[in-house]
Structure 1
């Protein structure tokens, strides 16, 4: 098993896509990249903690290649906007990848280069050494699957799922 820590704006969006991806064993929403220990969602939303909303995606490389997990990341959010995804603005929504070692850093940087041709503007995804991860509150876990009727899910997440499905349908379970 391998785990990537990725931030692409609201963690609900990344969670929704990876939860329905073949070979993904778990997705845990959380926070990392800041200075405040044990931050709450309200503190994160202030934009003052330095943390990013992230997901920890644990997957089986024998089922889905790590390159596919990363390429899906670059399709499901806009990695060219600094500290924003759609209507969500602030450093907590930054496009980010948190690596554990030099090998993972190289893999992340290669994914940026590989995916740059998909975007007109430069990719501004932050690649940073992973620090402490704080798990988000329970109501953030598996948010989309539990509340698909919520407006945010229908208006923001459903189009992202459709975009990923267009390019990666063979990897999705639903």
Structure 2
């Protein structure tokens, strides 16, 4: 089966990218921006909240090794989909929870997963994750790529990224590279 693309937003892209790059079947997870109205946005413009973009991770994966559903299961484990336009202390529309679908099948799968999670009341609050058609993906600046691996002792990485990575490794250890 040919490679597929998934694009997910769940707060700071450093967290999401780090986890997905560790999964078998994921060929790449690239930090970037999607869903806004500015051409060629920069990190500074994104942080000002003026572009409408979300911090996203675009994942290229082998569906024979890891399914889109599996990616969504990981996604809903490593961020809080009940926080509107934020993740913890990261506040703004750039940190929104969103699934940018690339095919009608991805849209249906995302909506089904959200419906199942809502019915199970797993989160105890309404899920606010947007399910939106993918638009232009803008890769983030080079220094954002594999940020955690390059800066593991940076305070944000220690207090925000590392716990999410540990949670994912604890739950999905059998799926790690």
Same fold (TM over 0.5): yes
SS at match of 1:71: helix
Out of 102, 124, 137, the position equivalent to 2:128 is 124
Output the CA distance in 1 between the equivalents of 2:65 and 2:135.
28
Equivalent position of 1:9 in the other structure: 11
Unaligned runs of 5+ in 1: none
Deviations 1:75-121 (A, max 9, x none): 00000000000110000000001112322110111121233332111
RMSD across aligned positions (CA): 1.0
Deviation at 1:65, TM superposition (A): 2.0
Deviation at 1:69, TM superposition (A): 0.8
SS at match of 1:164: helix
Equivalent position of 1:83 in the other structure: 85
Decide whether the 8 Å contact of 2:5 with 2:102 is kept in 1: no
Equivalent position of 1:170 in the other structure: 174
Matched residue pairs, number?
A: 173
Structure 1 residue 156 and structure 2 residue 152: aligned? Answer: no
Query: Which segments of structure 1 move beyond 4 Å, counting only runs of 4 or more?
Result: none
Equivalent position of 1:68 in the other structure: 70
Output the CA distance in 1 between the equivalents of 2:105 and 2:54.
22
Q: TM-score, normalised by structure 2?
A: 0.94
Unaligned runs of 5+ in 2: none
Q: TM-score, normalised by structure 1?
A: 0.96
